[in-house]
Every structure is written in structure tokens, then in C-alpha cells.
Chain A
Amino acid sequence: EIVMTQSPATLSVSPGERATLSCRASQSVSSNLAWYQQKPGQAPRLLIYGASTRATGLPARFSGSGSGTEFTLTISSLQSEDFAVYYCQQYNDWPPSLTFGGGTKVEIK
């Protein structure tokens, strides 16, 4: 099973600042990686797929990069609505398997 490790667990950032979230795979997943955002009491929302392609309607301040085993989600200028938990998910192993990272909580500094 491919293990996805996200860091840091918690990121404290001031509004308007840049946030950089990392996701590492235990083996190469090529570019077959998605990012999701989850706000309290809500279901996850797809942000990025193919490691770098923004989902429909996603603001340009969100960007994804990386391939192989190292991936980054960058939020260029944090808005109040961006404070949430972010998860990466690999789908390179599909079928038969999908795995999520443990999440990074972006909180207000």
C-alpha cells in the first residue's frame, strides 16, 4: 500500500501570507495526486487533480506542483475562507487502491 505523509500537521499563517503544504508518497505516484479542502462540518471539496490542474472555479491563488513522491499545495495569499484542513490523495495505485494523507490544518496565526 502506498502511504501518503503530509507535513506539517498544523500550519499557522496570517491572512494575506503564503502557505506551502507538503505531501510525500512512499513510492512514486507519477502525477496521479489530488488535493481536497475540508472546512469544519463540511464534506471535503476537490481542489486540484493531476498534481497541478485546478478544479473548475478554483481561484488562481491555489496551485499544485510536484511529481513522483514529492508534492506541494501553495496558497499564494491566504483569505479568511482558506483556513481549513487540506488532504492529498494518490490514485496511481487504482485499481485496486486509493489512499489519503493525514491532512494539514491551516489555522490563523
Chain B
Amino acid sequence: QLQLQESGPGLVKPSETLSLTCTVSGGSISSSSYYWGWIRQPPGKGLEWIGSIYYSGSTYYNPSLKSRVTISVDTSKNQFSLKLSSVTAADTAMYYCARQLTIFGVVPRYYFDYWGQGTLVTVSS
């Protein structure tokens, strides 16, 4: 059974960089059928896609966050990571990592089929 687990500091100071890692178990991050994504959810609010990465390192980011986001992958550790710079209180959220099915063609599939439990990150001094 595939499992994803987020890890990282739960408290980050304003203007600093938020760093999280997602460890994948029960499957390979190097599979050609998946991207791996980060999604966040501010308290009491909806879901926001942050960005996604392929095992080769190809990335796509939400335009609204692109200037501050870096997602990287370490296939040797079966992990991918998120860095969000210059954080403010508005970046306080539950951060989820998820597997994004990636099948091109006449009937494309690009949705998230497995999610981690999430990790709450609070931005505060």
C-alpha cells in the first residue's frame, strides 16, 4: 500500500524559508506514471495546488507562488521536497504531499490519487 509522509518544522518565522519533505513508501517515486505534488490548505479554507515534480526533476508551479517555490526530488531516498521562501502569516496552512497520476492521451488522467496525512506549518515570530 502506497504511503506518503510529510515532515519538517511546524513553526517558521516570518521572512524565513519553509522546508518540508515527503517520504514515499510502498512504491517507487521513479515511476513514469506519476508526478508528485504539494497542496496546502489554510485553516478553515480550501485547497491550493502549490506545484508538482516528476522523478526526472521536471517541475510545474502555481503561478501565484512560482517566485517563492522550489520543489526538488531525491530518487535515491524516495523523497521529494518543498521550499517556500519569504513566508508570511498567509502561508500558515496544512501542507499535503500527494501522488498525481499522469497519463496522457485521449482520456488524460492528472488527478491526485494518494495523499499524505498533512503537516501543519505555522508562520509566527
Contact = CB atoms under 8 A, between A and B. Distances in A.
B100 to A, nearest CB: 8
A23 to B, nearest CB: 12
B7 interface: no
Interface string A12-48: 0000000000000000000010101000001111100
A64 B110 CA distance: 17
B63 A89 contact: no
Contact of A44 (B61, B108, B110, B112): B112
Contacts, number: 61
Interface residues of B, number: 24
Contacts of A96: 60-61
Nearest to B54: A95
Interface of B: 37, 39, 46-49, 52, 60-63, 96, 98, 107-113, 115-118
